[in-house]
Amino acid sequence: MTAIDSKMKGQLSLAVAIIAVSGAAIFIRLCSSSAVIIAFWRLFFSVLFLFPFILQPEIRAQFKPLFRWKYICLFFLSGFFLSLHFFSWFQSLKYTSVAASVIVVNSSPIWVIVLSFLIFGEKISKNQFIGLILVLIGLLFISSMSTPQQLDNTFFEGLFLALFGALMFAAYLIIGKQTRSRYTIANIPYVFIVNLSCTFFLLLIALILKENVFSFHMNDIIWFIALAIGPSLLGHALLIYSMKYISAHTVSMAVIGETIGASVLSWLILKEDLLWSTLVGGFFVISGIYLSIKYELSQKNNQNTRAISDESLD
């Protein structure tokens, strides 16, 4: 395979992945069930569809080192924050527009930087600080919009839930980053156990809210399965696969592609208006995320280059 063919293969995989994850918000809006029920069944089917992979002997062997308390606690903590992310974001989509909700919830890369500073004392660079300011300006623009009449009473509640979802996903990413950097954990076992614990916590949330996860319209099963196969499995799998052929920098920008893709799909399929304040706010948020991610990846590339140089001098 030539270099051009490899690059095209990576770009095609990334494009399909972005389309797949962009469809999540649309599937949720087309589903008539409550947020926690949608989230539970999305994760349940995601775990179910992973079973054929973990039945393979070489994959099963990767689970054996993970049955230790330190791993189990980290997995359950990750699953807990992921369950809160899914529940709050899905609920926000019931209250506000797809574009506004997706833009806010995808601001999580910025909150990873903020939480890492507050918890671990990691330095915030000049570019990352500027990125944070741009995101905050964008959020102010979005929150100032004039909403359609049917969303007036719940619009700000939806924005708050989306922001809470972004913070919970940032916490999930930080735990995952710390876990994967400290310990050697294979991808499939990690995803399976975290998703399984997330499913458990979503069931617990449903019980607390007195929601019956088995009470839903039969047509919603289509959307449950679509969420599991599309955004959860196909989308994330292709994102990882595309990294073989294109830079991590390009793949990391998928969060921006999802934001744009979901907004366009909501306009085409759900006939939602893209208001000027959402577009302007989205531009600031996307610019802030781009600036922050670009800086972080450039720092990693510099560290890798220095490491290679040091090894060549040994």
Q: Which pLDDT score, from 0 to 100, does residue 296 have?
A: 63
Q: For the whole model, what pTM was predicted?
A: 0.85
Are the C-beta atoms of residues 292 and 110 closer than 8 Å to each other? yes
Return the pLDDT at 305.
43
Per-residue model confidence as pLDDT tens digits over 66-77: 777 878 888 899
| pLDDT digit string, tens, across residues 190-238 | 888 899 999 999 999 999 999 999 999 999 999 999 999 998 888 877 7
CA distance 67 to 52: 20
d(C-alpha 73, C-alpha 78), whole Å: 9
Position 158 pLDDT exceeds 80: yes
Q: Using one digit for the tens of pLDDT, what is the confidence trace for 25-73?
A: 999 999 999 999 999 999 999 999 988 888 888 888 888 777 778 788 8
Does the pLDDT value for residue 146 go beyond 60?
no
Among the listed ranges 160-174, 252-266, 290-304, which one has the minimum average pLDDT value?
A: 290-304
Residues 158-192: b if buried by 16+ CB within 10 A, e if exposed? bbbbbbbbbbbbbbbbbbbeebeeeeebeeebbbb
Question: Could you give the count of Cα atoms lying within 13 Å of 66 in the half-sphere of its Cβ?
Answer: 23
Quote the distance between the C-alpha of residue 229 and its chain's center. Answer: 15
* Residue-level pLDDT at 244: 66
What is the identity of the amino acid at 74? L
Token pair for 206? 């449903």
